[in-house]
Homo-oligomer: A and B are copies of this chain.
């Protein structure tokens, strides 16, 4: 009986921390190499859920995951917001003056730009992911090499925090979504995500958005993504907030479907703030 939750990265990655935050510490996290592997794992059933980042409060949407949402037949069943903290991690006993190289994901390096500008003698080197950089630094055992990663990666690979919290911004949050092959059947959802296309004609985008206004649906986020086969045409990823009861969702979906092209409802679910009130971890169904 498996209860795996798939995520991209190595043990110690922020996605793994998001799994623990949402499902609790007994959730079995399944590391995958690429985001597309996470989606595949849920599709084929080797994982019950997937946990992927959808947006960061500083850098914006993770476009690759928006595109994967459109391509796969999966649903969003929940979300969780993780505070991101970047630490400079090194071998035990090393201090900042020992460090000549720092390894991290390009986003990690970018988000610590002020620190790296001040310590311009330290060469930033791009790595596949932050936790992987921490693992490598631990394996290399070369005191001049450090990593930028979160605290749990440091603990996991036995590295010390040389400089804590070196990110440019302390209000750095990443929102993760929970992927499932089943549409959530929660009675009362306060959030809905969907994707749709608009026709290539004047005011098509405005008309599409009018559908939400007429339905008094509070559109809170809109992202446009290119349709590769139709240069400079777009499809849209939209999130709305409200009170969506199970017995009224079908009607709302039919109304939207009548007016939007290629509409796909990605899920009715409870937002982080809705769940936070309940202060409980989410249960993981088993795969038989």
Write the residues of chain A forming the contact surface with B, with a CB cutoff of 8 angstroms. Answer: 55-61, 63, 126, 169, 171, 173, 175, 202-203, 205-206, 209-210, 212-213, 218-226, 228-229, 231-232, 234
Contacts and interface: CB of A to CB of B under 8 A. Distances in A.
The interface residues of chain A, by DSSP majority, are classed as strand
Copies per complex? Answer: 2
Contacts of A55: 226, 232
A33 B253 CA distance: 48
Given A173-B232, A231-B171, A226 B126 contact: no
Contacts of A223: 223-224
B232 A169 contact: no
Nearest to A272: B232
Nearest to A57: B231
A209 to B, nearest CB: 5
A5 to B, nearest CB: 24
A206 B219 contact: yes
A53 to B, nearest CB: 13
Contact of A173 (B56, B221, B231): B231
B224 A58 contact: no
Contacts of A222: 205, 222, 224
